[in-house]
Structure 1
Amino acid sequence: MAKEVVPEEARRRRRPTRQGVVVTQRLIVETALRMLHEHGRDGLTVRRLGVALGADPSTLYRYFRGIDDLTLAIADELIGRAMRGWLPGGPWREDLREVGRRIHTAYLAHPEAAVLTASRVSGRANEIAGDEAILGVLRSTGLPDPDVVRIYQAFVDQALAFAALDAASLALPEAARAADEQVWRATYARLPAETHPNIAALAPLLVARMNDSAYPAALEMLLDGAEASVRRMRGRGEADDA
């Protein structure tokens, strides 16, 4: 049976650690984020976390059921950072664009954490609040509920998928990332038109674009599709009123 996790106040250490800090759930999450940045995903262990906190490693289990539970808390923290300070209220398309960009930016600020958590569903407070807000923006368009859910799923999955993809590149060793980026110029741009006419014709454009994230363009494509759905729905409504 899984160990019950008790509320924060009941878990709080009554004495500071050797480093003079009081361990809290937030401190553990922030320390884990730093460790992921410094040591990568393989470096996030209970033992190392205890050392970083200046506390016994078992302290983690007063706050989390284990590393996987901590991973979900990290995922929720990234969403919280993305959504912090944002309130809907503009045109729906601008609201969704802002949310998408915020999610992408927040995850890329912590590449190792992004790769670790982008595929997870935490079911925690920040994630739930973000989902509620996004669904509210989409429902404000007047779209039928099935369309709201369809676009919501595509929007969220797209943002997280690109965050994971772009973060994975940033998480590579510098030499590997530089080598990957050079392939477009060193290989693709040199392919002859006789054997690869399409690549050769588009080589300058490929070299200029392919090392940048495609997320901004993909986001606009998704928003175009959502807007087309809204227009079709409103067009049908106008036809019914005629």
Structure 2
Amino acid sequence: MAERVVPEPLRRRRKPTKQGTVLSERVIVETALRLVGQHGAEALTVRRLGAALGADPSALYRYFRNTDDLLLAIADELIGRAQHGWQPTGDWRTDLCELGLRVHASYQAHPQAALLAAHRTTGRDNEMRAVEMILGVLRSAGFRDPEAVRIYHAFVDQALAFAALDAAALAMPAPAQAADLKVWQVRYGGLDAGTHPHIAATVRLLAAEMPLSGYPFALELLLDAVAARLPGAGAGAGAGAGAGAEAG
């Protein structure tokens, strides 16, 4: 696409396309999400989008500067879907846990798009709203700004890294997914306890655990670490330890 996007107030087109669709940024993004889900990254072209929408490909220039601009809109849409219906409880840990799981689930619902978009910074409304919410949770919990920013960074990067990793697994063809599972069941399951005693002792657990996402447990571990860094979090433990030492 060329960089000739038309500002929102100047988009006068209300005539339906050949398929009866009235073009809008949302309609284009939803169509792009569907096409990427069906055909992968190669579907993200002006020609294929135009055909799917029943519109001249040049019409998309009124909404997006280029395909990268459209990709950022797709990423922002996934972030927005993660926020839909979320309400803060006032408990920082509960709120961060739900937000993390929501972001991860939103990307897993569209694994092909997640592969393209999980690493992007959109600078769009939904992303800015998410940044504001997460920082608000952390600052309200009592973290000072430098610490809140570092925790925000770790929290978001963990969620998006797992989103991309798990999306890659989901996007694999079914035979490849089955082959990966078989490695744990057969290859690892057949290892001799004399040479690999720890694997042999846990192989059934490994075969059950490894096909699952590690994100929920990793998120709990991160939140445990965050809780330990709350201002005053160690005061109680320190006082108890001192009292015990004196009593001994």
TM-score, length-scaled by structure 2: 0.91
1:112-161: per-residue Cα shift (whole Å, max 9, x none)?
Answer: 01111000000000000001000000011111212111111010001111
What residue is the counterpart of 2:163 in the other structure? 163
Aligned residues: percent identity?
Answer: 62
Task: Tell me the CA shift for residue 7 of structure 1.
Answer: 2.5
Task: Tell me the CA shift for residue 207 of structure 1.
Answer: 1.0
1:215 & 1:12 partners in 2: Cα distance? 45
Gaps of 5+ in 1: none
2:229 & 2:4 partners in 1: Cα distance? 46
What residue is the counterpart of 1:216 in the other structure? 216
What residue is the counterpart of 2:64 in the other structure? 64
Task: Tell me the CA shift for residue 182 of structure 1.
Answer: 1.6
What residue is the counterpart of 1:21 in the other structure? 21
Secondary structure at the aligned position of 1:75 is classed as helix
- The 5 A counterparts of 1:1-242 are 3-230=3-230, 232=232, 235=235
Alpha-carbon RMSD: 1.7
Count of residues paired in the alignment: 237
2:207 & 2:38 partners in 1: Cα distance? 31
1:120 & 1:226 partners in 2: Cα distance? 25
AA in 2 matched with 1:143 = F
Tell which deviates more after alignment, 116-125 or 201-210.
Answer: 201-210
Which ranges of 4 or more aligned residues in structure 1 deviate by more than 4 Å?
231-234
Secondary structure at the aligned position of 1:16 is classed as coil
TM-score, length-scaled by structure 1: 0.93
Residues 100, 159 of structure 1: 8 Å contact kept: yes
What residue is the counterpart of 2:242 in the other structure? none
Gaps of 5+ in 2: 240-248
Residues 17, 55 of structure 1: 8 Å contact kept: yes
Secondary structure at the aligned position of 1:116 is classed as helix
AA in 2 matched with 1:180 = D
Task: Tell me the CA shift for residue 37 of structure 1.
Answer: 1.0
Residues 189, 200 of structure 1: 8 Å contact kept: yes
Residues 12, 24 of structure 1: 8 Å contact kept: no
Secondary structure at the aligned position of 1:140 is classed as helix
User: Which has the larger Rg?
Assistant: 2
